[in-house]
Structure 1
Amino acid sequence: MNFSRLGRAAVVAAIAAVALSSCAANEGGTSAPTESDAPSLSGTINAAGASSQGSAQEAWIASFQTANPDVTINYDPSGSGAGRETFIAGGSDFAGSDSFLSDEELAGEFGSCAPDTKAIDLPVYISPIAVIFNIDGVDELNLDATTLAKIFKGDITTWNDPAIAALNSGVTLPAANITAVHRSDDSGTTKNFADYLFQNAPDVWDQKPADPFPYQTGEGAQGTSGVVDAVTNGTNTIGYADASKAGDLGVANIKVGDEFVGFTPEAAAAVVAESPLVEGRDANDLAIQINRTTTDPTHYPLVLVSYAIVCQEYADAAQGELVKSYVGYMASEEGQAVAAEQAGSAPLNADLSAKVAAAIETIK
């Protein structure tokens, strides 16, 4: 597989023309094509974006390239903001992003898309966000949204603060300074984390959710791997990351209703299933407005939906067909199962899966 970081010069260069062996176009939303049931595919896809998708992209690429040995796929996990910028500039064929396109971005032009056409947001990856920690002598940690917001805003600075102690009866918390690690790059994971805090603790988290971390507090780290490394290698640290990267770190339980709950893919998927689409978008744009204020303890509201941002119509029709085939595999039942196995993500529910498949079918 090819999962290397593309240089800045490379990602802003024009994508090489792709020759496709034809017959019929591949069906979007289906399994990876095989030699026996699909036309042969060839060419190169360059993409960039969300580091949260990293493990899933590794698995998707390996599977798709095995079925299609003449296809090369490069995915640069540069972060959601960088991925959208690269795609908008025409330096990649699609973007992975934990944030859907903003109204301002949609009002602009897209370098890889046909003139006077736009890009669309397709949900392909649903995953819990884990609140990871590395605290001396602490294996279990409960946090509610208000306390979590105060920690990352810098209002709570020591682990034995009364607010934290009140949520963790019987736990000996150290009288040590908190190092709260956030993403230093523009990150859709940050936007989702901030959205959870903004919806549940607006009196504390008073900045509207956005890709940049909003406060001059704590310690910044580049990408998901940077946050995980900083929490792992630091002392009395806390951070947030896609759950697939939590590893052996401690993971806090968050308060939902009257209970403290840990993440599961099923609990994350339940929140997404009950959240509406963003209003006022193109019919094929499936951006989701996540409702994070649930009090149902079978739900885990600290969740991200990560998108494949693609052209509705590509300037290079052959390249569009290649992207359509790969993104269709990502969103297919097989692709979602591969991601669930390798990254611990939550497969798209039947209703959302059908909507994504129908939208992929319209890609030109």
Structure 2
Amino acid sequence: MKRTIFGRTAVLAIALPLALSACGAANEGPAAGGSGESAGEEVSGTIAGAGASSQAAAVEAWKAGFEGMHPGATVNYDPVGSGGGREQFLAGGVQFAGSDAYLKKEELSKVSTACKGGELIEFPAYISPIAVPYKLDGVDNLQLSPETLAGIFAGKITAWNDPAIVADNPGVTLPSTRIAPVHRSDKSGTTENFTDYLAKAAPKAWPHEPEGNWPISGGEAAKGTSGVMQAVNGGTGTIGYADASQIGDLPHAKIKVGQEYTGYSPEAAAKVVDASERVADRSQYDFAIDVKRDTTESGTYPIVLVTYTLACTKYDSAEQAKLVKEWLSYITSDEGQKKAQEAAGSAPISESARENAKKAIDAIAAS
């Protein structure tokens, strides 16, 4: 089973109106829900997290907002990568983690010890659309089916006037320019999510397992999102994949979903998460999903990266439990999600995702 991992960056905005117990009206800050209707509990102390670099910009925005509301609180986050974040969390080294993949079955066996006998909390908190930018003179409204997109990146479709591309773009004059696909040279959550999409939406055209390392030879390789964008922008007939917030003024392809062609948007990215099924046989506060890449639902954009927040229902002290609770309430609040969208171009999580997160956050307590 392919696990969802959602890349740079970028990946869910929730308006989470938590009415947490107040500790005195004179000392109350703005609501954890971010809208000012209810007061969040005043907290102090320090907590640490580690994990996905994809949400690093969002975490910085969250930290600024949260610590501004709670001057006595400090949140540290090390963007060491998803794997490193999961390792530190399961070893009990950090109080929360960010991961572009939900925990594997073998990792779940370590949760009880890491969580002091409590349960795992795992929910999407950051959604990042992955765009397909291109540079092709005279073409600014490109449409591609999953099969055509897979054929391009597999090296089977090599010219922009290939019959498959022509069929996706009726009435558009396409040049005979050679296609120059650009992929990541480094291991990447963006690559894993992109290849997961190709494998699920166009399995005949892309018979490769989803992989963080680019799985085939050919094409141009570039390091990091910035490298991919430099290569696409500096070439002719180029096409790549990257966090949507990083493509700048370059046009991006609309992707065929069902009978329609859909461009990325925060709403379309969040909608595919709601259309996806929850992973079976997980604990009550584990809301991991397998993104429905092959959805045909109108208005969805299936090339997305989802980053999960990992936490526990039990912590060593009441102070630590309250601080984690307030932090998670803030990042999933309407205000928190808006800050992530402004800082990192992420897609706000939906109301249903927000409610799931609230159920988990409400269960946090001292051991």
- Common topology (TM > 0.5): yes
**1:42 has 2:42 as partner:** no
Shift of 1:222: 4.4
User: How far off is 1:269 after superposition?
Assistant: 2.1
Distance in 2, matches of 1:245 and 1:123, equals 21
* CA shift in 2, pair 1:85/1:143, >3 Å: farther
Deviations 1:63-103 (A, max 9, x none): 11221234343444454344434444555443222321122
**Contact 1:32–1:64 (Cα < 8 Å) also in 2:** no
CA distance in 2, matches of 1:38, 1:283: 25
| Residues 1:350 and 2:346 are matched in the alignment | no
Distance in 1, matches of 2:173 and 2:317, equals: 60
Mapped partners of 1:263, 1:306: distance in 2: 17
Q: What is the TM-score with the length of structure 2 in the denominator?
A: 0.78
Shift of 1:108: 4.0
Structure 2 partner of 1:202: 203
2:32 maps to 30
Instruction: Quote the residue 1:279 is aligned against.
Output: 280
- In structure 2, the partner of 1:250 is 251
Q: Give the structure 2 partner of residue 184 of structure 1.
A: 186
Q: Which amino acid aligns with 2:44?
A: L
Q: 1:72 to 1:97 in 2, by over 3 A?
A: same
Distance 1:153 1:280, change over 3 A: same
Q: Structure 2 vs 1, CA of residues 37 and 201 (structure 1 numbering), >3 Å: closer, same or farther?
A: closer
Which structure 2 segments of 5+ residues have no match?
1-21
Conserved? CA contact 1:30–1:333, under 8 Å: no
Report which structure shows greater RCO (CA 8 Å, sep ≥6): 2
Q: CA deviation at 1:285?
A: 0.5
Unaligned runs of 5+ in 1: 1-21
- 8 Å contact from structure 1 (residues 133, 236) kept in 2: yes
1:99 maps to what in 2? 101
How far apart are residue 287 of structure 1 and its match? 0.4
Which residue identity is paired with 2:46? Answer: G
Residues 203 and 348 of structure 1: CA distance in aligned 2, closer, same or farther (over 3 Å)? same
Q: 2 CA distance for matches of 1:192 and 1:144? A: 17
1:1-364 equivalent positions in 2, closer than 5 A: 30-31=32-33, 38-51=41-54, 53-90=55-92, 92-108=94-110, 113-115=114-116, 119-169=120-170, 170-182=172-184, 184-187=186-189, 189-314=190-315, 318-364=319-365
More moved, 296-305 vs 250-259: 296-305
Q: 1:14 — aligned with what? A: none
**TM-score calculated relative to the size of structure 1:** 0.79
SS of the residue corresponding to residue 278 of structure 2 reads coil
Identical aligned residues as a percent: 45
Work out whether residues 124 and 308 of structure 2, in 8 Å CA contact, stay in contact via their aligned partners in 1: yes
> How big is the alpha-carbon RMSD for the aligned residues of Structure 1 and Structure 2?
3.2
